[in-house]
Amino acid sequence: MNLKANLAAAIVLATLPAAKVAASPNILLVIADDMGLDASPCHAVGDNKVTMPNLVSLCEQGMVFDNAYSAPVCSPTRASILTGKHGFRTGVGAAIPRSGGNGLSSNEVSIFDRLKETSYSSAVIGKWHVAGSDDDLDHPMTLGVEEFYGFFKGGTPDYFKWRRVHNGKTAIVNRYTTTALTDRAVEWVSEQRSPWFLWLAYNAPHTPFHLPPENLHTNDSLSGEDSDIRSNPRPYYFAALEALDTEMGRLLDSLDAATRRNTVVMFMGDNGTPGRVASNIFRQRGAKGSIFNGGSNVPLVVQGPGVMAGRSEALINTTDLHATIAAIAGITSNAPDAFDFSPTFQGAETSRKHAYVEHFSDKPVRGRSPLGWSIRDDQYKLVAIDNAELMLFDLAKDPFEKVDLLEEDPTDATKAKVTELSLAYEKLKQ
């Protein structure tokens, strides 16, 4: 589908009503790799927004969450969705390096294990990156995934030639990754005869910022030369996001009207935008890899039956996707860190009072990626970087965390807030 047709499909999507929740709606989770709030056209954060008509249509017709929090890097975010547990419980606290590391244990109970209690079929298409070893090709299946089609590593060195793993067997694919993953998603969905859950984890817009095929984006001034990508990567990052949006639109357009009306679509970024292509507003505290908002406050939108249009200030952790997907499928999650946020789809509140972020590793991490943790309530955020003084921010007045309230003489109120958030952290860790 070209961009003109893609925009037309987006307009059609915008006309679909928010139907009542069906007994067993399909569930599509789309994950963009390394897409922070500053890259999202649905959030007033940063400037020079990318053109993503299908995402904009989802945001216009669905619920946009302004306070959704992930881990600062991909592996712990994905592990948290799978298990409904924070990294300190699973041992996955940082991006798993190419040499291997602490992967997600196959003994964990995943959302795919839980869905086997229902009539749902399931698949993961795209990036995995929670296995401790690239040789453990059956890792998705040991965590309950019925079909896996994609790649294991944090990224692929070449968007046009990459090593595919399909249910434990490998092959080389000579097709743009975003397109190839969508091809398989369209095919898999068409094969289903029961309610389904599809975890579609695109590699885009993760590095390398290779130029997508010209029919997938609108920037015709890019050469695609390595030197140009190195010197000016941001438009290539945007082109990859446009290509993702175009192909997501193709997948949505492949659904017949009844299926589309009965499908809950969740779109999210797995962590903040990489520093070299991030908006300047995150320069002070860092973007991807940072426990500050630039690294962990991510786009999240949900659209589909039973979801009204609007915006929500509810605090969401990516662990909560585990419980919410389970609830949509008709089962109850018992994961310790997962709150079902489906009540917000109709404007109600959730029971979550704090959002928590952590980044830890027993190995050195790359770049400006301070290790530590943070916890916030509806206004204040406490940041604890390893081997550094505590910091406190008033996010209502200072959303980009420029002013540390503890650098000056703290008031009794700020001291009390530090104590309150510290106690919330201690309770969380129990």
pLDDT digits (tens, 9 = 90+) for 170-217: 999 999 999 999 999 999 999 999 999 999 999 999 999 999 999 999
Confirm if 17 and 309 have CB atoms less than 8 A apart.
Answer: no
Nearest to 428 by CA among 76, 109, 85: 85
Euclidean distance between CA atoms 106 and 104, whole angstroms: 6
- Hunting for tokens 């795919």 — which residue is that? 112
With beta carbons less than 8 A apart as the criterion, state whether 144 and 116 touch.
yes
Q: Which residue has the tokens 């790649």?
A: 151
Q: What's at 186, amino acid-wise?
A: V
Helices (H), 262-305: 293-296
Task: Find tokens 């817009």 and name the residue.
Answer: 205
31: Cα separation from own chain's centroid: 5
The pLDDT score that the predictor gives to residue 366 is 64
Mean predicted confidence (pLDDT) in 339-360: 96
Q: Report the C-alpha gap between 157 and 210 in whole angstroms.
A: 10
Q: In what order do the strands lie in the sheet with 196-201?
A: 169-173, 162-166, 148-151, 121-127, 196-201, 26-32, 263-269, 300-303, 63-69, 310-317
Answer yes or no: is pLDDT of 18 > 50.
Answer: no
* Per-residue confidence band for 49, with pLDDT thresholds at 50, 70 and 90: confident
Residue whose token pair is 């008709």: 330
Please answer whether residues 290 and 370 qualify as being in contact, where contact means their C-beta atoms are separated by less than 8 angstroms: yes
**Do residues 341 and 52 make contact, with C-beta atoms less than 8 angstroms apart?**
no
Q: How many residues would you count in the chain?
A: 430
Confidence of residue 7 (pLDDT cuts 50, 70, 90): very low
Higher per-residue pLDDT: 3 or 271:
271
User: What per-residue confidence (pLDDT) applies to 4?
Assistant: 43
Cα angle for residues 179, 180, 182 (degrees, 5° grid) = 65
- Residue 374 predicted with pLDDT over 70: yes
pLDDT in tens, 250-296: 999 999 999 999 999 999 999 999 999 999 888 788 899 999 999 99
Quick check: helix, strand or coil at residue 109? coil
- Answer for the pair 198, 185: CB distance below 8 angstroms, yes or no: yes
What confidence tens digit (pLDDT) does each residue in 138-168 have? 999 999 999 999 999 888 999 999 999 999 9
Split at pLDDT 50, 70, 90, the class of 12 is very low
pLDDT at 17 over 70: no
Q: How far is CA 393 from the centre of its chain?
A: 24
CB 278, CB 287: distance < 8 Å: yes
Torsion of CA 67, 120, 183, 249, to 10 degrees: -40
Distance CA 334, CA 341 (A): 14
pLDDT above 90 (res 355): yes
For residue 145, the model assigns a pLDDT of: 98
Q: What is the pLDDT of residues 79-118, one digit of tens each?
A: 999 999 999 999 999 999 877 778 999 999 999 999 999 9
Nearest to 42 by CA among 71, 66, 14: 66
Q: Quick: pLDDT tens for 223-257.
A: 999 999 999 999 999 999 999 999 999 999 999 99
**Does residue 14 carry a pLDDT above 80?**
no
Sign of the Cα pseudo-torsion (311, 312, 317, 321, in order): negative
> For residues 361 and 111, what is the distance between their CA atoms, to the nearest angstrom?
25
What is the Rg, in whole angstroms, of the alpha carbon atoms belonging to the chain?
20
User: For residue range 290-300, what is the model confidence (pLDDT) as tens digits?
Assistant: 999 999 999 99
Domains and CATH numbers, the chain: 3-18+25-346 (3.40.720.10), 382-428 (no CATH)
* Cα separations in angstroms, 7 against 155, 229, 238: 29, 27, 17
pLDDT confidence of 368, banded at 50, 70, 90? low
